[in-house]
């Protein structure tokens, strides 16, 4: 069997797609969570900053969820059965966000504040739902007060990471007062985001045996030590930029966004390394959840054709619409 057709390799592909979905959509969620903090003119600029990239996120969502469903149907069933309610809440609020995104400029002017609040509410509930799902997944879908408390804690603090990502995006895409407001917003959520990341890192060894050995055993500890060190350096690099507004004015605000993305990537693959080969912690491995090799071959060929096309037009789109956001206009 070729390497790329093995369930473990397909699991890595699925994880990468899921990470790409998050990074593509989370700055949208972050901007939505910040929308009510801005003036009316600034709200339009914030929406304009994410407008060109809005529809592309749906492509990644369909591709990632489709690959997960087809490649790991057993795991898909277990996960959705345990997370049916938060998944439903997330999808409903993603729909609400999409409706509010269009209606805030197409509905009569007197309804614009309502749709602004709807966009914020959809962003908040979708973010909190993702946090609850992440907390439940890490605890192995454990029932009881401890599992619920941890899931609730992540549901409350994960939106802080999205706000940080959204603030970094606005630092890159805006100027003037709105850019300085983005700096203040990022300062407020920097430490809560760090707390959420530390909580997830501390909880993982408690729900899966062998995690401490995977990270602190010799000789792998020397190679893996770079992961927390890079996270710490990225965190303090963001703090350094945020405490020096002149750097943001000089065009270095992108460092906040870039380092937030770096922390997301390192945390995601750190979690994947910790729980592998489980795809449902304590219940099911990737080998048990994967479909047949022949089906994996078909999936690989389909993704190998589709993925480069999506990446190409995404890169082209970012090149075309790069630069500062301008006033919101609709033809």
Look over the chain and give the mean of its residue pLDDT values, rounded to a whole number: 81
Which tokens go with 223?
């190679």
Angle at which helix 254-275 crosses helix 226-242, to 10 degrees, equals: 160
pLDDT at 208: 67
Is pTM beyond 0.75 here? yes
Cβ-contact 163, 191 below 8 angstroms: no
Higher pLDDT pick, 242 / 210: 242
Which tokens go with 260?
């937030």
Which of the four pLDDT bands, split at 50, 70 and 90, describes residue 185? very high
pLDDT at 48: 85
Angle at which helix 145-173 crosses helix 254-275, to 10 degrees, equals: 150
Listed residue (8, 18, 203, 37) closest to 123, CA to CA: 37
Is the pLDDT reported for residue 303 higher than 50?
A: yes
Instruction: Select the CATH number that applies to the domain covering 10-320 from these four: 1.20.1630, 2.60.40, 1.10.540, 1.10.3470.
Output: 1.20.1630
In this predicted structure, which of 12-16, 184-188, 211-215, 286-290 has the lowest mean pLDDT? 12-16
Instruction: Tell me the pLDDT tens digit for each residue of 19-35.
Output: 444 445 567 888 999 99
If you average pLDDT over residues 161-166, what whole number do you get? Answer: 90
What does R_g of the chain's alpha carbons equal in angstroms?
20
pLDDT at 114: 93
Which tokens go with 321?
């619409």
Task: Give the residue extent of every domain in the chain.
Answer: 10-320
């Amino acid at each position: 069997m070729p390497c790329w057709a093995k369930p473990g390799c397909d699991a890595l592909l699925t994880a990468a797609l899921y990470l790409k979905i998050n990074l593509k959509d989370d700055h949208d969620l972050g901007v939505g969570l910040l929308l009510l903090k801005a003036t009316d003119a600034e709200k339009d600029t914030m929406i304009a900053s994410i407008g060109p990239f809005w529809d592309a996120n749906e492509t990644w969502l369909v591709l990632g969820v489709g690959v997960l469903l087809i490649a790991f149907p057993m795991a898909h069933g277990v996960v959705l059965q345990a997370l049916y309610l938060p998944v439903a809440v997330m999808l409903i609020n993603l729909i609400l966000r999409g409706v509010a995104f269009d209606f805030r400029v197409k509905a009569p002017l007197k309804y614009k504040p309502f749709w602004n609040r709807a966009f914020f509410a959809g962003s908040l509930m979708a973010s909190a739902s993702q946090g609850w799902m992440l907390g439940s997944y890490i605890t192995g879908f454990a029932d009881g007060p401890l599992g619920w408390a941890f899931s609730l804690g992540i549901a409350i603090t994960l939106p802080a990471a999205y706000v940080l990502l959204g603030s970094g995006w606005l630092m890159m895409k805006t100027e003037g007062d709105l850019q300085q407001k983005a700096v203040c917003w990022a300062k407020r959520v920097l430490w809560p985001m760090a707390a959420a990341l530390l909580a997830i890192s501390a909880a993982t060894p408690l729900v899966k045996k062998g995690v401490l050995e995977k990270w602190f055993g010799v000789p792998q500890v020397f190679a893996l030590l770079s992961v927390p060190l890079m996270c710490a350096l990225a965190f303090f690099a963001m703090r350094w930029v945020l405490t020096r507004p002149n750097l943001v004015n000089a065009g270095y605000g992108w460092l906040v966004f870039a380092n937030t993305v770096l922390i997301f990537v390192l945390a995601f693959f750190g979690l994947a390394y910790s729980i592998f080969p489980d795809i449902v912690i304590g219940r099911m491995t990737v080998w048990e959840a994967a479909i047949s090799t022949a089906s994996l071959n078909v999936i690989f060929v389909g993704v190998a054709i589709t993925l480069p096309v999506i990446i190409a037009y995404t890169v082209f789109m970012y090149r075309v619409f790069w630069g500062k956001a301008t006033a919101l206009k609709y033809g």
